[in-house]
Structure 1
Amino acid sequence: MTRAELGLTVLCGADALDRPIRWAHVSELEDPTPYLVGEELLLTAGVRLPSDVPAYVAGLVSSGASAIGFGVEPEFPEVPSSLVHACAAQGMPLLEVPPTTPFLAVSQAFAALLAEIAVREQRMLADSQRALTRAATRVRPVEAVLSTLAAVLDCRADLVDDAAAPADVASLVRRVSSGRGPRSASAQVGEDHVTLDPVGSAVLVVRRATPLSAAERAVVAVALALLGLLRRDVESERGRLARLAASALLRQEVSGLEGVTGPGPYRVVAGESRADYDVLAQRYGPLVAEEGDGFLALVAAGVEIAGPVGVAPLPGLHRTDLDAAAAEASALLSRAQATGEPALPASDLASLVDPAAAKAFARRELAPLLNRPDLIDTLRAWLGQHGSWEGAAAVLKVHRNSVRHRISHAERLLDRDLGTADARTRLWLALTWLD
């Protein structure tokens, strides 16, 4: 809590100020512990401060109070030294409340702060749910959901079974997956807080340095529901064999394609949408392969594709040709996702620019954003949607206010007016040539 206008002074226990606080509670009882539930900031002016101050503080510690706020005047002109010494000895944070700050102001500040936290957590939960749902539509949905969960909660998220469980959590994994013990578990393992939840025959292991809040546990619950649905599909034998066949074919020299794709020339298509993948897989079968969080497909040049995909020409049917075309199509995918339309290789304008010079231009223009991929993606989506907040929000699967905030932040970092045609043109070219 940082409310400088309250004028609170920390007298001791500064290293424990990160304790959670549910509420600010006022009590002048000699023993307020029967009326505490834990995690309170106890406010008192010492009207009935007992003579045995260490016992008073010990009772508050045992009841789970998080801190004491002592109001000076009218009872005491300063915080009693006996209280300061007792709190310091027992690790209880002690705050001095000045006479100009009524306890009601402290309570109101806590109420406002708790409301802010609730709003932030609801927004975080909604944004996380959209991100996880979007990840579940990718071609490798289980891996995408795990990586998205890790990014959202700043944690490590792994789906393991008994045989592959890390040694430090192996016993917990066996207990949770056995079905005979608790259906979930949490524990301190080394320096990590670890939670374990079953997903079919596997276990989701989430670990990070700090415990999960209630809202963050709700995010994990969303991921668990998605993973439970996805695992049943991913583990099917038919799907596994199809993926193996596709990967094998697309990593070797390709021949005899006309019976499947039609006459050449051919193109390589890169995408992430499950809908596009299903359409292409139904038509071309083993010539559609999973790649990272998305897919690669080999199609005839005349095939019409409407979705947000990167498309690159395939000059030949050897592995080196395929690798080069796949890399180009994958690089074009981000532009396609921004505009919502297929992205083809750069127009004739690009052919007039030396590739090295183009990349140097891109890195120079976008230098302040190069370590912020979230702002790069948002800027690409916003420009690709002609500056439409709603269009960019739909592409990114976030609220339009999030887009406004990110674009405003990018504008400050770039130190330019993004409302001008010159700035937008230069940045779009930079984004096009960045990769």
Structure 2
Amino acid sequence: MSDGGTVTVAEVLALPVLAHGLPKILAGHDRLDRRVRWVHITEWEHPASALRGGELVLTTGVGFPTRLDEWAAELADIGAAAVVLELGRCYHEAPYELVAACRTRGMPLIVLRRGIKFVDVTQEVHAMILTGQVRTLRAAQRVHDTFTALSLRGAGADEVVRAAAAMTGSAVVLENLAHQALICAPGEGTVEDALNRWEERSRATPSPTGRTEVCGQEGWLVTAVEFRGQRWGRLAMLPGSTADQQFLVDHVMVLERAAIALTLARLTHDTRWEEQAQRDALLDVLEQRHLSWRDTRTKIAALGVSTHGRRLAVVLVRTAERDVVLDKLRARFEGGALVGDLGERGIGVLLTFREPGGWHPLAAEIAELAGTPVYVGAEVGDLTEVPRSAAEAEQVADAVPPEGRPAVRTLADIGLPELFYSLRDDPRVQAYAERQLAALLAHDQQHGTDLLTTLRHYLAAAGNKSIAARRSHLSRQALYQRLHIVEDILGADLESGDRRAQLHVAIAALDAQRIRKRS
């Protein structure tokens, strides 16, 4: 992890003031990424006593001791970044003993084959370091201001995670202790790149022993997210596709500030992140709020719900006890289905199952848990077809009245009464029923009769008067008399099949409207 207030040995060697000295690397070729904290000029026999580690040591060799291996060992032990030896004043070439000792210790050794002013080196390098430190301070202030503003306006967890990704260009993922990826901001990559095989990769990435560390073989930058003093989950920043990418101090600041903002968001918002994540994923599918189905599949799998090779069906539950039912369904279908509050549409459950028809026992169990009938859409074989299943479930829910049985209702349960129940608010249907039955309804109201019921039994018996009389608990003669009165009031021939069909439709529409009024 690089420090924004320092520069590397390689960056120092690229400066014109050092390039003018014709530098040549004799040892530590693979250590040029070491951080240079400061520049120190020395001709002492034992320079380590004046060092703290991270220094670029400039020398002409005038004060070299007899044992150059010990001199190099002192600098290596104190953690000096590199040694730069200017040739010409004391040595015409680097002493073999010094070169060997630096190679053994992994200490970068650079010789300058042309003389330069060391003071120019210190001036330029220190200016670079100070500039980097100022930049780090400014970046820290920017990070602080950004996340403070998000917290003050009550931003949700998704906004916080997106802000962290936007500020770094890296993918940032919020996961819980069950290694479910609840929120993913892919940065400059894709959701699939970030979340593919998430649980497997996350479990292979240990948590940091300290506050924030680079962890695991993939090199994730990880920090803990706490809630009420307990570790709740982790916030992970994923490296880019470039193999040599390093996380900077800026990345650590962003991730840690984001974790604090998430804790504050959890304290100020009622909705639990797991619930919000499932609801968002469900809406992504039903409303196709995504860039690609591939990303959506990956996102759902990262929540612990696999759709690969499975059959799918949407179940809707409409109940006044929404919060209670939601808790029951989430507890029952943890990892096996997506459960979310869909607002006016009801509670949505995306079931996954292996065998055709596998939704039957699951839907029956949902109905038992909810204590109310449930509405099931078509069984489909791919995530792209789920919106059709949801639309069908909603059609059933709108068409079938909530009372009665069966407990699990599908499109097959929609007959003529259910069709008119779904169309009960259509003014054209209301007007049709009124035109057909207004005179009969008015007569019943004025005279205290119930001829509408007599007509309903007659039509339900398909014009069979014997059956209609038995269902009406009337004698055949009484039924005939009532039917003649109905014909006179409506001006209709009840022996006509077409006329009976028209009246049957009108009564079905009227009954649907009356069910609506009772509910």
The TM-score normalised by the length of structure 2 is: 0.41
When Rg is computed on C-alpha atoms for both structures, the one with the higher figure is 2
